[in-house]
Amino acid sequence: MHHARSLALSFTTITLLACAGSPADTGSALDSALAGKQRSDSNRARDAYRHPKETLQFFGLRDDMTVIELWPGGGWYTEVLAPVLRERGKLVAAYADPAKGAYYTRTRTAFETKLKGEPAVYDKVEVITFHPPESVTLGEVGKADMVLTFRNLHNWMQNGKLDPVFLAAYRALKPGGIFGVVEHRARPDADEATVAKSGYVREDQVIRIAESVGFKLVVKSEINANPKDTKDYPEGVWTLPPNYRLGDVDRAKYAAIGESDRMTLKFIKPKGK
């Protein structure tokens, strides 16, 4: 009887672990999402620079998580996150306030139209307004498993809003929750006061601000590094693909460099906080 009970307990444990979502399961779900019809050829072409599967696995994404994506822009990462999280998790898109200007109205309308156009992929995505410093609430405090931001920090840093953004992420996360950051990486000796205007941000500055609100750096990754990026262009990071802000001027040169050199940082909200 004791032996049978042990087997039953072992089976229950294995079943619970299987239901919890394994890295292998999430890897398969990411493969399916990346191959999905919701992605355009132009977005797929950027996988070589953005390494979405490797990046999300580095952050520790599971398909049963509640994930908040800050300012998702055109939804490049939303296209990947939404199908992975649709059945067992939750994706919250924290978008800028459309009332704050024509640009925000246009981009948010385009994003919401994209979601409504493919309900089989995006019907469970929750869209909320997040516009620091006026609106810095990311839902219930301490409920999210992960907060992600991709190439947004320079926007907030230029306007002195980075600290409240990081604090909002910290408050939204559960203890033990992950804050994943990808950003264009400035030279270590770049002027902190002005560098964000170029689209680049110093890595040590990001770490310092994150730790000032309570985060702890878990690990860095060079997944999204690009040693060809010299970071000294006439139009900043937007000189490089995919923007090519200089048009045809030296286009082949910038195409050969590729997209920007990027930091990839994994922070944690310490347990007991």
Q: What is the pLDDT of residues 241-250, one digit of tens each?
A: 999 999 999 9
Section 232-245 average pLDDT: 97
Which residues, 6 or more positions from 82, have their beta carbon under 8 angstroms from its beta carbon?
33, 38, 91, 121, 122, 124, 125
Query: Average pLDDT, stretch 243-261?
Result: 97
Query: How do residues 136-190 score in pLDDT, each as one tens digit?
Result: 999 999 999 999 999 999 999 988 899 999 999 999 999 999 999 999 999 999 9
Residue 17: pLDDT band (50, 70, 90) is very low
Q: Which residues contact 109 (CB under 8 A, 6 or more apart)?
A: 98
The candidate with the shortest Cα–Cα distance to 25, out of 62, 80, 53, is: 62
pLDDT at 33 over 70: yes
Name the pairing type of β-strands 173-184 and 262-268.
Answer: antiparallel
Res 126: pLDDT: 98
Question: Residues 207-228: what's their mean pLDDT?
Answer: 98
Edge-to-edge strand order for the sheet containing 216-221?
126-129, 90-95, 66-70, 144-150, 173-184, 262-268, 216-221
The pLDDT score that the predictor gives to residue 24 is 61
Average pLDDT of the segment spanning 90-117: 96
pLDDT of residue 25: 80
Mapped onto helix, strand or coil, the DSSP state of residue 105 is helix
